[in-house]
Structure 1
């Protein structure tokens, strides 16, 4: 386990937006923090009311935007704009290329976290997909909110439709958990995977280590993870391939 404390994060200027970055991004470059397996970037942003964040062109990356508070309107080439509220998740899969990617805050501003994941599949058509805040009981542990594993997509049943994970072009997962104080969550993966967990709020312990809001931890060569909440806590966990896809 490698812990990344919140006060060690980098700062990047991108598309008129100031971002706090876990990995090298835009003008923030640090040799010790370039990526975690196929997880290319984890960026935290806050936009003032009606503020904008615009980048591009981008290709061959899945960009997941999880909204912590407020409402953000997302826009990409040739697609209808979508409004994503607090707790919602939005995917832009840039595929063969998008000229412009645009996020605009609503009238109360917005706080968001983005995960950039390298896809396994080349030459896909750009696409977007959104998922509202889950109606599931997140206190049951880690819930899959985005996945590139076919087995994670539930059968098309009416009562499960709202909780189906967003479909990624990478064999990766993004999971979410909201844990009451002194309760825990466990997650099991397969060999050859890297895990990266971000404490959105609260504080947790893993073994004898304590992580606080804004802290993160990377896990390499570990297949079983258990966390205990010291207080009510919300977590995001990325499960990605440890080996990056070969470029052709």
Structure 2
């Protein structure tokens, strides 16, 4: 069974400096049908006003990654990491036994638009760590570039879970097929534009839950930027 989470079905949080859309239950938004999917717990589509952001706050036992679509995001954390994340960059913070961080719009004039995504880790209390990597448009154009994996395969960043995350750009005749091992679940999130996934038309902000799937084909893109999650065949997130 496959089902679409339409962009308009997402939770809404508007704090003035922050406009956020929640694919899954988060903060004041709770929907029992959208608690998460497999180990995927949060997809927040965030737009932050110039020079504003999330002040220092703690996390524990969560794999948190940011994917910037427009603008620049400034990261600082209690591990001593300081960096600026721009379009094409993937940043992952493994909170492990505990880490505090802040995320601010680096620009005093332009907004920043990014996805903040949480994935449940396979282990508790691990050593916190931070990783960041740039993936060029050429690496993602008309194909799915592996950006996160359990073992850092193919130049990807390491994540502490049996999950693989791919990023791709699709327009016009460009098409790609991802074959999945065994009976996996998968989630596709359209960050921008529009695309067909296994024949299902999806627009900006839409997501598609796929269960027991062997292959995912993306085609008929219209300036589409897409994230694909190859997940364990579980329904709800949980520590295992």
Q: What TM-score results when the alignment is normalised by the length of structure 1?
A: 0.87
Moved over 4 A (4+): 244-247
SS state at 2:205 partner: coil
How much does 1:245 deviate? Answer: 4.8
- Residue 159 of structure 1 corresponds to none
1:221 equivalenced with 2:223 (yes/no): no
How much does 1:197 deviate? Answer: 0.7
The question of whether the paired residues in 2 share the 8 Å contact of 1:203 and 1:232 is answered with yes
What is the RMSD computed on CA atoms of the aligned residues? 2.0
For 1:114-125, what aligned pairs fall within 5 Å after superposition? 114-125=116-127
How much does 1:17 deviate? Answer: 4.0
How much does 1:59 deviate? Answer: 0.8
How much does 1:240 deviate? Answer: 2.1
Give the distance between the partners of 1:135 and 1:6, measured in 2 at CA. Answer: 25
Give the distance between the partners of 2:199 and 2:158, measured in 1 at CA. Answer: 35
Which of 201, 207, 214 pairs up with 1:210?
201
Q: What TM-score results when the alignment is normalised by the length of structure 2?
A: 0.90
How much does 1:213 deviate? Answer: 1.5
The question of whether the paired residues in 1 share the 8 Å contact of 2:46 and 2:113 is answered with yes
The question of whether the paired residues in 2 share the 8 Å contact of 1:188 and 1:223 is answered with yes
Give the distance between the partners of 1:89 and 1:118, measured in 2 at CA. Answer: 18
Structure 1's unaligned 5+ residue stretches are 155-163
Give the distance between the partners of 1:19 and 1:55, measured in 2 at CA. Answer: 18
1:102 equivalenced with 2:102 (yes/no): yes
SS state at 2:8 partner: helix
How many residue pairs match? The answer is 234
Query: 1:135/1:206 Cα in 2 relative to 1: closer, same or farther (>3 Å)?
Result: closer
The question of whether the paired residues in 1 share the 8 Å contact of 2:77 and 2:101 is answered with yes
For 1:66-105, what aligned pairs fall within 5 Å after superposition? 66-98=67-99, 100-105=100-105
* Structure with the higher strand share, 1 or 2: 2
Query: 1:94/1:118 Cα in 2 relative to 1: closer, same or farther (>3 Å)?
Result: same
Residues 144-185 of structure 1: CA distance to partner in whole angstroms, max 9, x if unpaired?
Answer: 01111x2x524xxxxxxxxx2111111211111111212211
The question of whether the paired residues in 2 share the 8 Å contact of 1:62 and 1:117 is answered with yes
Structure 2's unaligned 5+ residue stretches are none
Query: 1:50/1:236 Cα in 2 relative to 1: closer, same or farther (>3 Å)?
Result: same
The question of whether the paired residues in 2 share the 8 Å contact of 1:142 and 1:185 is answered with yes
